[in-house]
Structure 1
C-alpha cells in the first residue's frame, strides 16, 4: 500500500477503474451483437453503434486517466 495516500482516494480511483472496465466490456459486447444482427442494419442501428463507440472512449478515459489521477 502506498504510504501517505488517504484510503478515500484509493477506493475512489479503484471504483472509477472498475466501473470503467465493466462498462467498456458491456459496450464492446453490445457493439459486436448489434453489428451481427441484420435487424440493426439501418440508420438508427448505425447511430446506436457510433454512440456506443463514443461511450467506450469516454470510459477508456476514466480507466486510464481519471482513475489513476484520483489514486495519485
Structure 2
C-alpha cells in the first residue's frame, strides 16, 4: 500500500496539476501491484475533490489530535 501526499503551491493551484500527478501515481502503483491510498482531513475539500475525481471513496474515518511542542 502506498499513500498519496500532494501539495500544490498557491500560484499553480486550479490548474489540475494535483489531479494529473495523483492519476499518474495511481497508475504506477497499479502497474507495480501496489494499492494507492488517499488520506486527508475532512476539512481539506480540495483534496477530497481530487480523490473523488480519481475514484477514491471514503472507507473510514478516525480522530486525530495535535498539541503544541514546547
Given the two structures, how large is their TM-score scaled by the length of structure 2? 0.36
Q: Higher relative CO (CA 8 A, sep ≥ 6), structure 1 or 2?
A: 1
- Structure number with the higher helix fraction is 1
* Higher Rg of the two aligned structures: 1
Given the two structures, how large is their TM-score scaled by the length of structure 1? 0.35
- Structure number with the higher strand fraction is 2
